[in-house]
Amino acid sequence: MGGDGYLGWPTAMSFAAKGHQVCVVDNYLRRQMAIETRSEALIPTPNLHDRAKIFESASGYKMEVKIGDCADYRFFSNLFKEFAPDAVVHYAEQPSAPYSMINFDAAHLTLNNNLNTTFNLIWAVKEFNPNCHIIKLGTMGEYGTPNIDIEEGWLEVEHKGRKHKFLYPRQAGSLYHTTKVLDTDLLWFYVRAYGIQVTDLMQGPVYGIATEEADIDDRLVPNFHYDDIFGTLINRFLVQAVAGIPLTVYGKGGQTRGYLNLKDTIRCVEIAMSNPPGKGQLRIFNQFTELFSVNEMADKVKRVGANLGLDVLVRSIENPRKEPENHYYNVVNSGLKDLGLNPNLLTDEVLEGMLRRVIMHKDRISTDKILPRVSWNK
């Protein structure tokens, strides 16, 4: 679900290349929102049918493509019955925090789309194949930045001499992130009520363009956004470095997040799929490999950019978001590593490789997509 997206497309290729029977479904919502907000990706990508054809002729691996809206139960349940998946990877959500904060319409779309896709998936599983494993992309942002350690999904609370394990408290910083909190609650309710099996992946911001399959042909690259709405921090900083725009540190730059390489997103989803939690279980993993603050990331990009002759400036600008800019952040993320994740870390070579790739597309960078256009204060 969401097979046309930044994460969905490379995940689908990877699964197909490992011999799984894959069906990708997407309604092009993100492409449409990107056009509406003038946030087109750096590298143009063919539509899903064409990408699947290019992938098949380049690699020999096939996948089925369905265009439709997972928030429409009639469409989705028919597809679910027909394809009868053993596992569903659910990426079919409006993924941008800034988009969800634009105005009423954008907030409403985010809320409806994200909750309805999750709800429909739960019901299709419940009605047609209760053994199907739901792999749901959540976000580290569900937890926010509390002043205590963040555990892997759950917290044992002792209160007046008694103990109980609860979902770790959640307090998100945007409506988008809040929809993921609501998704988790929905999934947890239906796990308790009907014994379905779910893996909920609390993922941090992802960076990268390269994956084993995307590297086969330039037309197979993921959608690489660098604008203020769909671009994530590292991808944005790399484009800014190449375009000669000072890196946009929001506020004090102490905001710390758990980052991961796109290749590790795919690997984590694969690990989750190969190790189903069992019926009646909601299993939660914190999906990131390294912690960096915005300032640390800016320093890294500046240093590596200099190796390529780029004179990278860093500038703090007024933070368009409402978020702590200096905070405690200590997060457990051992679950996926225990199951075999061997992280691809953000080395200088990785950053340099990405910078070189961006340089190849330098002419396509529109500098007016970079400064924040959405404010949490309006």
Catalytically active residues are 139, 176, 180
* Nearest residue (CB) to ligand USQ, 118 versus 248: 248
Q: Find the largest Cα–Cα distance for the chain.
A: 64
Residue with smaller CB distance to ligand USQ, 152 or 323: 323
Cα–Cα distance measured from residue 65 to residue 133, given in angstroms and rounded to the nearest whole number: 20
CB of 177 to ligand USQ, least distance (A): 6
Closest separation between CB of residue 50 and ligand USQ, Å? 25
Residue 291 Cβ vs ligand USQ, minimum distance, rounded to whole Å: 10
- Contacts with ligand USQ by CB under 6 A lie at 95-97, 139-141, 177, 203-205, 232-233, 236, 248-250, 255, 257, 294, 321, 323
Q: Read off the tokens for 77.
A: 């349940």
Residue 98, CB half-sphere, CA atoms under 13 Å: how many?
A: 20
* Least distance CB 232 / ligand USQ (angstroms): 4
Task: Pick the closer one to ligand USQ by CB: 30 or 66.
Answer: 30
Between 34 and 97, whose beta carbon lies closer to ligand USQ? 97
Min. distance of Cβ 124 from ligand USQ in angstroms?
A: 24
Output 85 or 231, the one with its CB closest to ligand USQ: 231
Q: Identify which of residues 227 and 270 has a Cβ nearer to ligand USQ in the complex.
A: 227
Tell me the closest approach of the beta carbon of residue 68 to ligand USQ, in angstroms.
Answer: 22
Hey, what are 148's tokens?
């205590």
Nearest residue to 11 (alpha-carbon basis) of 270, 357, 345, 344: 270
Q: State which residue has the least CB distance to ligand USQ.
A: 141
Placement of tokens 């330039």 in the chain:
218
